[in-house]
A and B are shown apart, each in its own frame.
Chain A
Amino acid sequence: MTEPTGASATLDSPTTLTQQDRLALYEQMVLIRTYELAIQREYHADKGPGFDIGKGLIPGEMHLAAGQEPVAVGVCAHLTGDDAVTATHRPHHFAIAHGVDLDAMTAEIFGRETGLGKGRGGHMHLFDPAVHFSCSGIIAEGYPPALGQAFAFQRRGTDRIAVAATGEGAANQGAFHESLNLAALWKLPVVFVVEDNAWGISVPRSASTAIPSNADRAAAYGIPGVRVEDNDVEAVHAAAAEMVQRARSGGGPSLLEVSTLRMLGHFEGDAQGYRPELADVAEHDPIPRYEAALVADGVLDDAAKQRIAAAASERVEAAISHAKDSPLPDPAEATRYAFAKEA
């Protein structure tokens, strides 16, 4: 692993991935993309005429992670359901990659009683204690609770770890810096992940952050920092491997920044007029690129591609059907769960 040097590093560690591993990474990315596009379809299906954010089967803001699949998939490939993940307001890719119950998550997004939070949370507030998954609607604020999960794992003498994700805009928040320091100080088993999609809503990275690599900030806390430049799932996988291993074995936290791609708007309905490079986005889509590499290496052929796409589509549509078929919560119970026992 690259120790902090003050310069960004691109990892090119030799991969030990088997063909099966590589296919699994691909399948996960396809599942996530299929999911995000299906949610996008469902979200917009009944927002008109015009666009009313509060209307439809999926009301409210919707932040989709299409293009950022390599980050979640490359990192979560090293985790089990005993490990914790805290994600951001753009959480679905990490949720799926970490094994959150897809039916319950979808039902939550549709605001149903069968949802992860029985319709109280919504798409930015997903909690699945079965796999220690949570997310936060507020920038950088998922980092501090991840410290506590890691603290509990460490205290109990386990080799479990926590992964905490933010976007690059969040790396300028106080919570980010306090968390890095405290985790480093107490050698907490955390892998901090920064998803650098270059945009904090409409503000480009160049207008928010004074240095080119947030991975360099790790040096300020005496922990390793690595930046992966190319949104490549295998490069993320390789970088995360070392960081996860370090955390599991008591070596403490580290910071992984991945230069990734927000293919869609900050939220659905965002026309992105502020974004000059929008026309080129499709060219940088990480999934066709990985697909081509796998085809070239003889790992993937057309038949397998179609099989994987069909399986993903079937799984996603089943989750959406489950959500749509699920009951809405009882309005009379709208305040339930404010406390553990009802007053």
Chain B
Amino acid sequence: MTTTTAAPTRRLNTSKAMAEAIAQEMRANPEVLYLGEDVGSYGGIFGSTGGLLEEFGPTRVIDTPISETAFIGLGIGAAVEGMRPIVELMFADFMGVCLDQIYNHMAKIHFESGGNVKVPMVLTTAVGGGYSDGAQHSQCLWGTFAHLPGMKVVVPSNPADAKGLMASAIRDDDPVVFMFHKGVMGLPWMAKNPRSIGVVPEGEYLVPIGKAAVAREGTDVTVVTLSLSVHHALDVAEKLAQDGISVEVIDLRTVVPLDRAAILASVGKTGRLVVVDEDYQSFGLSGEIVTTVVESDPGLLKAPPKRITMADAPIPYAHVLEYAVLPRQERIEAGIREVLA
């Protein structure tokens, strides 16, 4: 379901769009609250909660101690009692300090209880590199969250989706991990991707969890990707169009559940597959997408598939090193040309 009562020219950056969805849901439901580190007067390190404290006050926009195990677990207990907490883990890289609460408790309680206990919480977290923050502050890790069953995983690439997916996540009866890439937030202190600011519908706006989007239609090759890499793929698609190459870009938007039908439909049309994933290559999302196609019908592919991903190595600090391993435009273009050769 997608409801739009839009002023079509209004443009927001992703962080403001995300905060707008949270504010609207908080107005509509007093059980919704936001807690985490620096989410109050600071407004979230990546702008995820800008303006919320001013409107809702410190009892609903709550700064916590640096104690991820305690406050994520607190979110679980509050959700079990019927509240709808949104809890921010500042960087996805920090999942290790509180992973037990995430995958053994948040994600398993509904199952272990035979469906008798619901955990309707949202775990928001910042992901991604590209700004020399080093190996412990630049990972995506959505493949890790997605590998562990019981949590939905959404990864918006643009402001409108961030708003619509956030509203859906808050209303969902399952735990939803909402992963926002720093590079799509439209932050003033980070190199801006032009698509990190865009038209965002006003009013109630829901993007369904589990539905991919065709970010650009094409006929020669399918690029399946998500998050910031969608923008890199679109940049490349525009460039290749000048050479007469028609690239279809699928924005997954949700990793769990994965919209396998959308992937198969597109590859069925183009016959060629490039997966672009800023997460580590081995044992991750890119392999899952290739497998989805191959298990369905290897005959769909006219050429071997290609993966453009993060190397299986910690993310380096120096700009030239980091950009050498990130899946950016040059590598994506080369990959597309390779499957078309």
B112 touches A120 (CB 8 A): yes
A116 touches B105 (CB 8 A): no
Flag B60-81 by CB within 8 Å of A: 1 or 0 each: 0000110101111111111111
- Measured in the bound complex, the distance between the Cα atoms of B262 and A259 in whole Å is 60
Complex interface: stretch among B114-122, B226-234, B283-291: B114-122
Any B CB within 8 A of the CB of A43: no
- Measured in the bound complex, the distance between the Cα atoms of B112 and A136 in whole Å is 10
B74 touches A340 (CB 8 A): no
B173 touches A149 (CB 8 A): no
A147/B112 contact (C-beta < 8 A), A338-B150, A340-B174 known: no
- Measured in the bound complex, the distance between the Cα atoms of B111 and A120 in whole Å is 6
Any A CB within 8 A of the CB of B266: no
- Measured in the bound complex, the distance between the Cα atoms of B101 and A178 in whole Å is 13
- Measured in the bound complex, the distance between the Cα atoms of B149 and A117 in whole Å is 17
Residue on A with the closest CB to B78?
A: A148
Interface centre among B69, B82, B101, B108 (most CB of A within 10 A): B69
Any A CB within 8 A of the CB of B307: no
On chain A, the residues within 8 Å of B70 by CB distance are 143-144, 147, 175, 178-179, 181-182
Any A CB within 8 A of the CB of B218: no
- Measured in the bound complex, the distance between the Cα atoms of B210 and A336 in whole Å is 18
Complex interface: stretch among A48-56, A68-76, A151-159: A151-159
B72 touches A134 (CB 8 A): no
- Measured in the bound complex, the distance between the Cα atoms of B271 and A114 in whole Å is 49
A182 touches B115 (CB 8 A): no
Any A CB within 8 A of the CB of B100: yes
On chain B, the residues within 8 Å of A149 by CB distance are 77-78, 80-81
Any A CB within 8 A of the CB of B113: yes
Any B CB within 8 A of the CB of A343: yes
Complex interface: stretch among A20-28, A121-129, A195-203, A207-215: A121-129
Flag B130-148 by CB within 8 Å of A: 1 or 0 each: 0000000000000000000
Any A CB within 8 A of the CB of B152: yes
Any A CB within 8 A of the CB of B257: yes
A117/B82 contact (C-beta < 8 A), A146-B77, A182-B74 known: no
Any A CB within 8 A of the CB of B339: no
Any A CB within 8 A of the CB of B110: yes
- Measured in the bound complex, the distance between the Cα atoms of B85 and A129 in whole Å is 19
- Measured in the bound complex, the distance between the Cα atoms of B115 and A117 in whole Å is 7
On chain A, the residues within 8 Å of B76 by CB distance are 144-145, 148
Tell me how many residues of A have a C-beta within 8 Å of chain B: 45
On chain B, the residues within 8 Å of A182 by CB distance are 64-65, 67, 70-71, 74
- Measured in the bound complex, the distance between the Cα atoms of B284 and A280 in whole Å is 54
B69 touches A178 (CB 8 A): yes
- Measured in the bound complex, the distance between the Cα atoms of B101 and A151 in whole Å is 17
Flag A93-133 by CB within 8 Å of B: 1 or 0 each: 00000000000000000000001111111100101010010
A127/B109 contact (C-beta < 8 A), A149-B81, A152-B78, A181-B65 known: yes
- Measured in the bound complex, the distance between the Cα atoms of B71 and A101 in whole Å is 30
Any A CB within 8 A of the CB of B219: no
Any B CB within 8 A of the CB of A319: no
A145 touches B74 (CB 8 A): yes
B77 touches A151 (CB 8 A): yes
Q: Which A-B residue pairs are the 8 nearest by beta carbons?
A: A144-B73, A148-B77, A118-B114, A178-B70, A152-B81, A127-B113, A145-B77, A148-B78
Residues of B within 8 A of A (CB): 59, 64-65, 67, 69-83, 85, 97, 100-101, 104-105, 108-118, 149-150, 152, 172-174, 210, 257
Residues of A within 8 A of B (CB): 84, 115-122, 125, 127, 129, 132, 134, 136-138, 141, 143-153, 155, 162, 174-175, 178-179, 181-182, 185, 336-341, 343
Supply 11 A–B pairs (Cβ within 8 Å), ascending by A. Answer: A118-B115, A120-B113, A121-B114, A127-B109, A147-B74, A148-B75, A150-B77, A152-B83, A175-B100, A179-B70, A339-B174
